[in-house]
């Protein structure tokens, strides 16, 4: 099987490449990125690993027919988070680029698409009267909370794939993953979501006596290596449709405080929204406040289908996955691609701060 991976230089992409290089069903692997590594990962390797061919391409601008010619399967991971202040740009790259990539795959008769959807595509979770969340399966609506560009764009591409499924013989799989962490990606994630002024090492070191925490926030996470195993399973097994991917347990205030080794002080979600909004307007933070609203609204995903039909189970639990992020913040060595470089979490240049341009996946 000849596999193309877009967005191959980012957090999920590097983990997927590492996994697929050792997959017996893969005969050739092409990694596509806007900025490939100077020393290409996997090029010319021997000893049982599948060689990796790196290609420079931008899905929002380049000829995807030429990129996808001869491919049997596409793993579509490419996504751009910034500039968060210009949704026209991210929409062009993520949505228009995604539409063109899917259309090119159909024209080139690519047999399988495995697409990186997200928990962020889901509509707000069910309202409950008790303390426990009611997990949702893959039938839960994917119209997202319309306050954040990320959710709107992930939701829109779900509708596009609905159309592709109806009009094409391609086998389409959507992996709706939780927050994805690995140690090497911590500098990139700090740059994308927290910006150049966030004290990553201080946050990870446990020296802060207390941290404000939006009341009711809880998250699901998964280790990048475990998510990569789900991508391999989706490629090699004759499955279709959506799969929720997350590790247990769900991380809420008490568990997060233990991992951060500090006290979390409840603040209202409205106050957190206004504080983040002020930092965003002052260009002290790159994250729009709507993204916090989206995180507060997310349902808890039921992963039964992935376990039963993909045979997938995470090796790392949610605590270990989150700890890998903290380890990477404390010692930001980064990874082997420009997106995951250790200095990706360093200060932005003045024009980048002014324009809101930061890290990209």
Percent of the residues in the chain that have a pLDDT greater than 90, as a whole number: 74
Under 8 Å between Cβ of 187 and 328: yes
The verdict on residue 339 lying in a domain is yes
Distance between CA atoms of residues 29 and 20, nearest Å: 8
C-alpha of 137 from chain center: 19
CA 320 from centroid of its chain's CA atoms? 18
Q: Which DSSP helix (H) or strand (E) runs through 32?
A: strand 28-33
Q: Would you state the pLDDT for residue 359?
A: 36
Looking at residue 330, its pLDDT comes to: 87
Residue 10 lies in a domain: yes
pTM across the whole model? 0.91
Q: Which residues, 6 or more positions from 61, have their beta carbon under 8 angstroms from its beta carbon? A: 97
Residues 310, 313, 318, 324: what is their CA dihedral angle, to the nearest 10 degrees? -90
The pLDDT value recorded for residue 208 is 84
Residues 6+ apart with CB under 8 A from 227: 12, 15, 16, 175, 177, 180, 245
For the stretch 135-156, pLDDT in tens is 999 999 999 999 899 999 999 9
Is residue 152 assigned to a domain?
yes
132 pLDDT tier (thresholds 50, 70, 90): confident
User: Would you state the pLDDT for residue 131?
Assistant: 63
> Smallest Cα–Cα separation from 335: which of 35, 27, 55?
35
Counting Cβ atoms within 10 Å, is residue 62 exposed (0-12), middle (13-18) or buried (19+)?
A: middle
* Number of independent structural domains in the chain: 1
> Per-residue pLDDT tens for 219-271?
999 999 999 999 999 999 999 999 999 999 999 999 999 999 999 999 999 99
What CA–CA distance (Å, rounded) separates 46 from 322?
33
Q: Return the SS3 of 62.
A: coil
Answer for the pair 353, 82: CB distance below 8 angstroms, yes or no.
no
Categorize the per-residue pLDDT at 194 as very low, low, confident or very high, splitting at 50, 70 and 90. Answer: confident
Q: For residues 355 and 150, which has the higher predicted lDDT (pLDDT)?
A: 150
In angstroms, the CA 60 to CA 126 distance is 35
**Residue 163 CB coordination number (10 Å):** 11
State mean pLDDT over 114-130: 87
- We report the CATH number of the domain holding residue 317 as 3.40.50.720
> What DSSP string describes 28-88?
EEEEEESS--SS-TTTT--SSPPPEEEEE--TTTS-HHHHHTT-SEEEE-------TT-HH
**What is residue 41's predicted lDDT score, i.e. its pLDDT?**
63
The range of the structural domain enclosing residue 332 comes to: 2-355
| 326-353 residue pLDDT tens | 999 988 887 778 777 766 544 443 333 3
Does residue 360 lie within any of the structural domains?
no
Name the token pair of 295: 């995180």
Find the length of the chain.
361
Please report whether residue 328 resides in a domain: yes
Q: What's the CA gap between 32 and 77, in Å, rounded?
A: 10
> Mean pLDDT across the chain, nearest whole number?
89
C-alpha 76/C-alpha 116 separation (Å) is 6
Tokens representing 116? 């990186």
- Residue 361: inside a domain, yes or no? no
Q: Is residue 158 part of a domain?
A: yes
Q: What is the rounded distance in angstroms from the CA atom of residue 166 to the CA atom of residue 340?
A: 37
**pLDDT, tens only, 46-85:** 446 899 999 999 998 999 999 999 999 999 999 999 888 8
Structural domain contains residue 258: yes
């Amino acid at each position: 099987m000849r596999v193309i991976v877009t967005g191959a230089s980012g957090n999920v992409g590097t983990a997927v490449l590492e996994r697929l290089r050792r997959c017996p069903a893969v005969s050739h692997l092409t990694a596509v990125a806007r900025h490939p590594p100077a020393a290409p990962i996997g090029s010319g390797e021997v000893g049982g690993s599948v060689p990796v061919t790196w290609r420079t391409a931008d899905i929002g601008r380049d000829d995807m027919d030429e990129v996808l010619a001869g491919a049997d399967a596409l793993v579509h991971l490419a996504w751009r988070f910034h500039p968060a202040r210009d949704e026209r740009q991210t929409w062009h790259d993520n949505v228009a680029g995604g539409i063109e990539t899917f259309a090119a795959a159909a024209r080139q008769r690519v047999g399988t698409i495995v697409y990186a959807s997200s928990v962020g595509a889901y509509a707000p979770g069910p309202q409950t009267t008790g303390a426990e969340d009611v997990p949702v399966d893959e039938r839960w609506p994917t119209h997202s909370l319309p306050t954040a560009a990320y959710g709107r764009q992930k939701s829109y591409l779900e509708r596009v794939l609905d159309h592709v499924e109806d009009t094409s013989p391609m086998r389409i799989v959507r992996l709706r993953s939780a927050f994805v962490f690995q140690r090497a990606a911590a500098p990139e994630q700090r740059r994308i979501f927290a910006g150049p002024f966030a004290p990553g090492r201080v946050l990870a070191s446990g020296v802060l006596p207390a941290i404000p925490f939006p009341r009711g926030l809880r998250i699901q996470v998964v280790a990048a290596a475990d998510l990569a195993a789900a991508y391999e399973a989706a490629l090699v097994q004759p499955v279709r449709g959506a799969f929720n991917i997350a590790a247990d347990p769900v991380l809420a205030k008490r568990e997060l405080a233990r991992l951060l080794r500090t006290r979390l002080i409840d603040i209202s979600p409205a106050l957190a929204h206004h504080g983040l909004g002020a930092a965003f307007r002052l260009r002290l933070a790159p994250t729009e406040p709507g993204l916090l609203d989206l995180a507060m609204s997310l349902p808890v995903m039921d992963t039964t289908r992935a376990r039963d039909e993909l045979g997938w189970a995470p090796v790392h639990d949610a605590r270990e996955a989150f700890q890998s992020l903290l380890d990477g913040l404390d010692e930001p060595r980064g990874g082997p691609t420009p997106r995951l470089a250790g200095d990706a979490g360093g200060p932005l240049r003045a024009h980048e701060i002014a324009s809101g341009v930061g890290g990209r996946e």
